[in-house]
Amino acid sequence: MGGGWAVSRMRAMNTPTLTPPARLLGEVLRPGDAGYDAARAIWNGAIDRHPAVIARCRNSMEVAAAVRFAAANDLLLAVRGGGHSIPGWSVCEGGLMIDLSPMKAIHVDPVARTASAEPGVLLREYDAATQAHGLASPGGEVSHTGIAGLTLGGGIGWLSRQHGLACDNLVEAEVVLADGRIVTASAHSHPDLFWGLRGGGGNFGVVTRFVFRLHQVAPMMAGFVMHPGAEAGALLRHYQALAATAPRALSLAAALLHAPPAPFVPLALQGQLVATIAACYVGPVAEGEAAVRAVRGFGRPVVDTFAVQPYTAIQRWFDEGVPHGLHYHCRSEWLRPLDGQSVDALVQAARSASSPMSQLLLRHMGGATADLDPEATAFRFRHAEHILTLAAVWQPGDDRAGTHRRWCRDAWASLRGASAGGAYVNQLHDEGQERTREAYGEVTWARLVTLKRRYDPGNLFRMNQNIQPD
């Protein structure tokens, strides 16, 4: 593949000045170049890092050359897919940032029911391409998230109870390894690597092409109800009761937040604490109408948006609630079924939020996400009832950033007693090696370390929830 030539060319260059050849690495940006600041900006506006070089790669050969360049020059390496890493793993201070966002190709095969997508693809682009054929595969819930990081850490969304995690639907991946080789990982080719890619994050290489299994997904009954914050405890108990008996086609989420100034929110409620349950029924509309009746019929909701909606519309519900550029600090936990104590802790956390933009989100797990054996993929914790996400959110320039972060950590600590164990790597902050290890559990961790030693013994890929090889 000509990579050896590329390395020797690069070694012959004046590497201390970090002048990589653009024609090998794609578009190369350095501080001061037009487009540099836009390319280093990621979703979380609290992250402000300055790579020495950004390589905006267009294909796997350019990615391989960039990986070799980083390795040969002992550079800190960051890999950016959709740029939604909450702690900001996709951009480094100094070093080389591989920006995959120019890699946007998507190919849908409606007969084989597969889609191949490059790593710069965002969920909304992927969903639009697959839904054009009436098909879809599970993603996350915010359509500006990248498919790459989301899939490599797991990928939980509206379709997951019916069709599994994003990574459960991965059938093949093209990967650039730490030595610059390009390999295919699947059940038949490098099966050990394929196991690790499904939950192990970006620890083993740069994925330059994902191939997913697709499912038929037609417009469905979906929406959410909103209740005043005073009813938050009662609504969460109702959410738990619904979750306990939900058929796998019924996907449920709940949130405690301050109501946005959106046209569908009554003026009197805007800016006030509210509680919501969102649901969608991944199946026939008539069945869905019956299934969501119990969601809509509880108390007297002040907002009810339920209607038959295409999947692409559902995927955009929350986009504006978590825009690019605000400052974010998150904690998350797998939870057991909610009991009186955890409901009280959730409500207390919402009431004590230091910023009106902060949010508590719960998503019901189970169904197909729990079908696989915990050993089947590096994503292990499949038995949890819910995933809890605590997001502290504030405006740039707010001088209470420390207070908002502290609220997030304290709220998380108050809910640790309800933990189902482990953690979700896609929603960890920069919480240290022990917490990453806890996220996987001892058995999976040991296997991941062995894999890391095999595929990335020098830990070139370390801007992630890192699995250290030693």
Ligand X SMILES: Cc1cc2nc3c(=O)[nH]c(=O)nc-3n(C[C@H](O)[C@H](O)[C@H](O)COP(=O)(O)OP(=O)(O)OC[C@H]3O[C@@H](n4cnc5c(N)ncnc54)[C@H](O)[C@@H]3O)c2cc1C
Q: Which residues bind ligand X (CB under 6 A)?
A: 42-43, 79-86, 89-90, 100, 119, 140-142, 145-146, 148-150, 152-157, 201-202, 206-207, 322, 426-427, 463-464
Q: Could you give the CA distance from residue 324 to residue 322 in angstroms, rounded to a whole number?
A: 7
Phi, psi (rounded to 5 degrees) for 407: -60, -45
What whole-number distance in Å separates Cα of residue 253 and Cα of residue 455?
38
Task: Considering the complex, state which of residue 391 and residue 411 has its C-beta at the smaller distance from ligand X.
Answer: 391
Tokens encoding 116 = 């191949």
Q: Choose between 56 and 228: whose C-beta lies nearer to ligand X.
A: 56
CB-side neighbour CA atoms (13 Å) of 11: 8
Nearer to ligand X, 29 or 463 (CB): 463
The two three-digit tokens of residue 407, written as one number: 């609220």
Q: 445 is written with which tokens?
A: 């961790």
Q: Smaller CB distance to ligand X: residue 349 or 391?
A: 391
Q: Shortest approach of ligand X to residue 299 CB, angstroms?
A: 27
CB of residue 424 to ligand X, shortest distance in Å:
7
> Rounded to the nearest whole angstrom, what is the least distance from the CB of residue 199 to ligand X in the complex?
11
214 or 314: CB nearest ligand X: 314
Q: Smallest gap, in angstroms, from Cβ of residue 102 to ligand X?
A: 12
Nearer to ligand X among residue 269 and residue 444 (C-beta): 444
Q: Which is nearer to ligand X, 123 or 269 (CB)?
A: 123
The least CB distance from residue 426 to ligand X, in Å, is: 4
DSSP assigned state of 298: S
Q: Shortest Cβ distance from residue 390 to ligand X (Å)?
A: 13
CB of 378 to ligand X, least distance (A): 13
Residues composing the chain = 470
Closest CA to 356 of 269, 236, 273: 273
SS3 147: helix
Minimum distance, C-beta of residue 381 to ligand X, in the bound complex (Å): 13
How far, in Å, CA of 131 to CA of 136, rounded?
A: 6
Six-digit token string for 345:
């802790």
In whole angstroms, the minimum distance from the beta carbon of 88 to ligand X comes to: 7
DSSP 238-297: HHHHHHHH--TTEEEEEEEEEPPS-TTS-GGGTTSEEEEEEEEESS-HHHHHHHHHHHHT
Compare residues 205 and 229 and give the one whose CB is closer to ligand X. 205
Q: In angstroms, give the least distance from the CB of 167 to ligand X.
A: 9
**Which one-letter DSSP state was computed for residue 140?**
-
Helical residues (DSSP H) of 364-441, grouped into ranges: 401-415, 433-440
Query: Which residue reads 């089947």 in tokens?
Result: 376
Question: 181 or 237: whose CB is closer to ligand X?
Answer: 181
> In one letter, which amino acid is 264?
F
Q: Which is nearer to ligand X, 215 or 429 (CB)?
A: 429
Rank residues 83 and 301 by Cβ distance to ligand X and give the closer one.
83
Residue 27's φ and ψ, nearest 5 degrees, are: -75, 125
Question: CA–CA separation, 458 vs 423, rounded Å?
Answer: 26
Q: Kindly report the number of other CB atoms within 10 A of residue 55's CB atom.
A: 28
- Give how far Cα 220 sits from Cα of 139, 243, 291, Å: 16, 19, 12
Which residue is it, tokens 């490059």? 118
Structure tokens at 302: 């002040």
Neighbours of 411 (CB within 10 A): 22
The distance of closest approach from Cβ of residue 293 to ligand X in the complex, given in angstroms and rounded to an integer, is 25
